[in-house]
């Protein structure tokens, strides 16, 4: 096992606002290895985007309060100066964003935006080389007639092509880590399939580490090797993708599974919502952040869920699968109580 390329340890990000301090990310730790994909799942406000923007130092340093450690290829990013951060951005770590129409500058040609990304890390390259590189990358991500489309403006591209161009821009400097923040959320499902296929092909080709951030469990199931579930700014479950999605150990993950209809599942399965709303980050709940919405609090003695924050520790199935829950037997509760409600067909099969 090689050393992980990205090591995040006890990352905490807070933003002061007029209403108080927003605890966007709290004590988050994870690692990503070269050639592997980490999927981060969570809803808006779970801290999934904030934490990955911290990897590139994209937060406003004057206001964001960032503590903990982020090591990219061994280099500490937290507290790193702007000029050193710049060498990292786009070169070692690239990021692709959700809405490519908004994330590409509307006034500049697609090609020149790509060339710009190349030139900033290849100061000796000529403009012609950069343009050639841009065309090559557009071709690589499957844009037809790249030598012609290179001079188009983003609004002249279709949604899928824009996201491809965004990916091309991200990969133009062969980054070792690619962070894809909801890369297909704004896209139609057949285009989403094309983009996910492309991302997977490119990852195999470049052997880069990938973080894919999404709220879509299906996307994460097909893309990720490991999954990190975030809730209220903390990691609440972490482990190999198959483990997390087939034997989840955290009631929030159960809630996600039971509240999202599955097009490939049994047509008769029920939809059980998670009651309530996501927690306030200004004034997070005491104890486990999920306790106000959790239907299993009664199974933990002594009101512990309300008073005590559970640690993120290895669950009953082994060291690779961590959960942040006070339940003594999460696997048993899931298999005996939750599964029969949300996917009875799975039980009948086995």
Least spacing, CB of residue 316 vs another protein, in Å: 19
Taking the alpha carbons at both ends of the chain, their separation in whole angstroms is 34
Stretch that binds another protein, among 72-80, 104-112, 132-140, 316-324 (CB under 8 A): 104-112
**Sole residue written with tokens 């809730």:** 231
Stretch that binds another protein, among 4-12, 70-78, 151-159, 312-320 (CB under 8 A): 151-159
Closest CA to 182 of 71, 89, 289, 46: 46
Q: At what angle do helices 127-140 and 110-121 cross, to 10 degrees?
A: 120
Which residues ranging from 219 to 258 are in contact with another protein (CB under 8 A)? 219, 221-225, 240-246, 255-258
Which residues ranging from 13 to 42 are in contact with another protein (CB under 8 A)? 15, 17, 19-20, 22, 24
Stretch that binds another protein, among 3-11, 70-78, 87-95, 322-330 (CB under 8 A): 87-95
Contact 38, 100 (CB under 8 A): no
- Which residues are registered as beta bridge partners of 13? 25, 66
Tokens found for residue 183? 């890369």
Least spacing, CB of residue 190 vs another protein, in Å: 5
Stretch that binds another protein, among 2-10, 71-79, 215-223, 307-315 (CB under 8 A): 215-223
Which residues ranging from 48 to 77 are in contact with another protein (CB under 8 A)? 49-50, 53, 56, 58-60, 63-64
Applying CB under 8 A, among 29, 31, 34, 200 the residue interacting with another protein is: 200
Q: At what angle do helices 159-171 and 189-206 cross, to 10 degrees?
A: 20
Tokens found for residue 67? 């503590």
Closest CA to 8 of 34, 41, 30: 30
Tokens found for residue 231? 């809730």
Concatenating the DSSP letter of every residue in 206-248 gives HT-EEEEEES-HHHHHHH-SEEEEEETTEEEEEEEHHHHHHS-
- Which residues are registered as beta bridge partners of 227? 39, 239
79 makes contact with another protein (CB under 8 A): no
Residue number, 135 or 333, with CB nearest to another protein:
333
320 makes contact with another protein (CB under 8 A): no
DSSP character for 144?
Answer: S
Applying CB under 8 A, among 9, 27, 33, 43 the residue interacting with another protein is: 43
7 makes contact with another protein (CB under 8 A): no
Contact 279, 289 (CB under 8 A): yes
Residue number, 213 or 312, with CB nearest to another protein:
213
Least spacing, CB of residue 169 vs another protein, in Å: 7
How far is residue 206's CA from residue 209's CA, in Å, rounded to a whole number? 9
Which residues ranging from 105 to 124 are in contact with another protein (CB under 8 A)? 105-107, 116-117, 120-121
- The per-residue b/e assignment along 47-59, b for 16 or more CB within 10 angstroms, e otherwise, is bbbbbbbbbbbeb
Longest CA pairwise span in the chain (Å): 69
Residue number, 55 or 312, with CB nearest to another protein:
55
Residue number, 5 or 97, with CB nearest to another protein:
97
Which residues ranging from 253 to 312 are in contact with another protein (CB under 8 A)? 255-265, 267-283, 285, 292-293, 295-298
Stretch that binds another protein, among 73-81, 102-110, 133-141, 319-327 (CB under 8 A): 102-110
Stretch that binds another protein, among 69-77, 192-200, 308-316, 322-330 (CB under 8 A): 192-200
| Cβ-based neighbour number of residue 287 at 10 Å | 19
DSSP character for 87?
Answer: H
Least spacing, CB of residue 241 vs another protein, in Å: 4
**What is the size of the binding site for another protein (CB under 8 A)?**
115
Closest CA to 331 of 262, 223, 239, 268: 239
């Amino acid at each position: 096992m090689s050393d992980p390329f990205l090591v995040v340890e006890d990352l905490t990000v807070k933003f002061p606002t007029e209403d108080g301090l927003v605890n966007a990310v709290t004590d988050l730790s994870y690692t990503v290895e070269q050639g592997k994909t980490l999927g981060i799942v969570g809803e808006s406000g779970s801290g999934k985007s904030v934490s990955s923007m911290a990897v590139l130092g994209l937060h406003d340093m004057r206001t964001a309060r960032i503590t903990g450690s982020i090591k990219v290829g061994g280099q500490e990013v937290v507290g790193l100066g702007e000029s050193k951060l710049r060498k990292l951005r786009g070169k070692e770590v690239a990021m692709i964003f959700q809405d490519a129409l908004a994330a590409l500058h509307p006034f500049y040609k697609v090609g020149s935006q790509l060339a710009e990304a190349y030139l900033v890390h290849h100061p000796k390259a000529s403009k012609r080389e950069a343009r050639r590189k841009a065309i090559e990358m557009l071709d690589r991500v499957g844009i037809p007639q790249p030598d012609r489309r290179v001079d188009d403006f983003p609004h002249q591209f279709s949604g899928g092509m824009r996201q491809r161009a965004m990916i091309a821009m991200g990969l133009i400097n062969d980054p070792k880590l690619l962070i894809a923040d909801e890369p297909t959320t704004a896209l139609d499902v057949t285009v989403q399939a094309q983009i996910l296929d492309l991302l997977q092909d490119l990852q195999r080709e470049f052997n880069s580490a990938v973080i894919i951030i999404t709220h879509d469990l299906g996307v994460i199931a097909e893309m990720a090797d490991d999954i990190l579930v975030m809730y209220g700014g903390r990691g609440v479950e972490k482990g190999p993708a198959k483990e997390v999605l087939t034997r989840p150990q955290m009631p929030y993950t159960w809630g996600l599974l039971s509240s999202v209809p599955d097009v490939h599942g049994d047509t008769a399965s029920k939809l059980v919502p998670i009651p309530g709303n996501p927690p306030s980050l200004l004034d997070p709940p005491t104890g486990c952040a999920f306790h106000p919405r959790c239907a299993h609090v009664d199974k933990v003695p002594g009101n512990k869920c309300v008073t005590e924050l559970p640690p993120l520790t290895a669950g009953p199935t082994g060291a690779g699968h961590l959960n942040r829950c006070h339940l003594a037997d999460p696997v048993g509760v899931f298999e005996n109580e939750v599964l029969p409600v949300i996917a009875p067909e799975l039980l009948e099969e086995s």
